[in-house]
A and B are shown apart, each in its own frame.
Chain A
Amino acid sequence: MSLLTLGARSPETAALMARAVKGRSLWDDARRRLLRNRAAVASMIILGLMVLGAIVGPFLTPYAYDEINKNDVWLAPLTGQHLIGSDSLGRDLLARLFTGLGVSLAIGAVATTVSLVIGVTWGAVAGYFGGVVDEVMMRVVDVLYSLPYIFFVIILMVTFGSNFILLFIALGAVQWLTMARIVRGQTLSLKQKEFIEAARAVGLSRLEIIRRHIVPNLLGPVVVYVTLTIPGVILAESFLSFLGLGVQPPMASLGTLIANGAQDMELAPWLLILPSITMVVTLMCFNFIGDGLRDAIDPQDR
């Protein structure tokens, strides 16, 4: 119909005008800036491949991650049936690497979600309600901030046994502090905006305003911090697994693979080097994406 009303104008101009009217949203701008950041784009591609490998990989390898092959002990990469070698029990390193990467990424995702939920709720409530509520809630954050959290995770793992779900929750529960601070700061400035005042004038309840208006507008900084929390969680999990307190054998995570590799590094250096490279590349990808997102969403920060 629009073509008719536009009369004699050619379809090209009409399309052009339609595009001009549509304008560019904040997120369009951000996406454009992000896609121009070569390190971030490369990281996203690599990470995408890694996620794909972690999901599909275990089905493609001829061996299961915990399959013990007595005749294939300590095979070097490219020598036998095992593409990138095998470990002291003859388990296929490729299968273990896919599984370990998957476990590490899954823990990163789940624990970050836990930290996201706690951190955003805590920060938004503290920032929006203000006053005594804010004072008390932020004091709690201050107190927890100055604790050596990894020690508490270690105690948790020791007292309750190395349980998968507990590991997710424990790691997430200690990572929400920075998120809460960021969200609170943002909420404080959002609170002054006119559209919040309008929502209040319309008669929305305070919790409703937080849920419907504050939280969606926090998205930018929260997304950035999430991409920086995931590597933190992966690192913490691997750290625990390296100490023997995280993921338990025969299950693998990048941390347990590196720990096992370090034990046999003189005989079979590939068992240490390949998981280490995987770990470092994963962490770097997340960091580059996080930096890229920050520059894209909040350019004046630079």
Chain B
Amino acid sequence: MLSFLLRRLVVAIPTLFVVVTAAFFMMRAAPGNPFSTDRKLPPEIEKNIEAKYGFDKPLVVQYADYVGGVLHGDLGPSLKYRDKSVLQIIQENYRVSLTIGLSAFIISIFAGVSLGVIAALRQNGPLDYMTMGVAILGVCIPTFVTAPLLQLVLGSQLGWLPIASWNGGSLPNLVMPVAVLALPQIAIVSRLTRAGMIEALHSNYVRTARAKGLPEFQIVTRHALRAAILPLVSYLGPAFAGLMTGSLVVERIFGLPGLGKFFVNSALQRDYTVVMGMVIFFATLIIVLNLLADVLYAALDPRVRLA
């Protein structure tokens, strides 16, 4: 188990390093300097600004400074919000993203697994076709289509839910963003679960359990499901990445003051340090989550940790 963990860490640390390096050099490769875009500044002021942000030093020194800063948890100052650091911006805005992201994550796993199990138990029945039909739709309808359509129907035509805004995170305001975010993940999770369940239900140990006369419920939950959700565990990392990507659009459409909206706005305003800082932040989250998923997988499946 320990060597397995070590091997995973050996991949995770260079990954982070690649992220930081790629982020830095992409930022520096940008043509022009971020301050010259708005209006012409007197040369001495421009020099002062460049000195303040360290742009006058050689590239290698800048890179070393940046990596050193990141290692200390310092992602640099924002270029547009003059008196804020990137870290402050992340701290001030992560709650909204965390709330909708986590809710969508939990909902998609529970709903997806339930739907997948039901579909597998009724394989090739009408219920199966219905669930899988919904799953295909969920994969094929992008979030930036579902979100405005829901706003149009539930928000403006029927008036059941508020069209947009955060409103302190009250439940009616959360329903649509979370649903939109969760739908594609529900679809994928249910397809994975269905495939895993069908395989597990045809395996020998499930037949043994049946032969022993165990109640069907116990066979499904205790025997089949445990094996069936294994592929799901390795999907947790990508699912999380998918949710983050989705939150870029969802937060923008529903006007939620979260990291996704900030990321897009900063990107459009060319606030490079904020964009880089957030990429590093998101990448770290995804890498840590992938690591946790690997550990979970190893804990659930002895074949992995013994191999």
Name A residues whose Cβ lies closer than 8 Å to a Cβ of B: 139, 142-144, 146-148, 150-152, 154-160, 231, 235, 238-239, 242-245, 255, 258-259, 261-262, 265-266, 269, 272-273, 276, 279-280, 283-284, 287
Contacts and interface: CB of A to CB of B under 8 A. Distances in A.
Contacts of A156: 26
A238 B139 contact: no
A147 B245 CA distance: 12
Nearest to B248: A243
Interface stretch (B38-46, B63-71, B146-154, B173-181): B146-154
Across the A-B interface, give the 9 residue pairs with the lowest CB-CB distance, nearest first: A159-B30, A262-B148, A283-B140, A276-B145, A242-B144, A143-B15, A284-B140, A151-B279, A158-B267
Contacts of A142: 11, 15
B88 interface: no
B153 to A, nearest CB: 10
Contacts of A280: 137, 140-141, 145
Contacts of A266: 152, 156
29 contacts: A144-B18, A146-B15, A146-B237, A146-B287, A147-B18, A148-B283, A150-B248, A151-B279, A152-B26, A154-B264, A155-B275, A158-B268, A158-B275, A159-B27, A159-B30, A159-B31, A159-B272, A160-B29, A239-B245, A239-B249, A255-B144, A262-B144, A262-B253, A265-B156, A269-B152, A272-B152, A280-B140, A284-B137, A287-B136
A280 B141 CA distance: 5
B128 to A, nearest CB: 15
B282 A155 contact: no
A281 B299 CA distance: 41
Contacts of B29: 159-160
Contacts of A144: 18
Interface in B97-114: none
Contacts of A239: 142, 144, 245, 248-249
Contacts of A261: 148
Interface of B: 11-12, 14-15, 18-19, 22-23, 26-27, 29-31, 136-137, 139-142, 144-145, 147-149, 151-152, 156, 237, 241, 244-245, 248-249, 252-253, 263-264, 267-268, 270, 272, 275-276, 278-279, 282-283, 286-287, 290
A20 B216 CA distance: 51
Interface of A is mostly: helix
B154 to A, nearest CB: 13
A156 B15 CA distance: 19
A224 B122 CA distance: 28
Nearest to B163: A266
B278 to A, nearest CB: 8
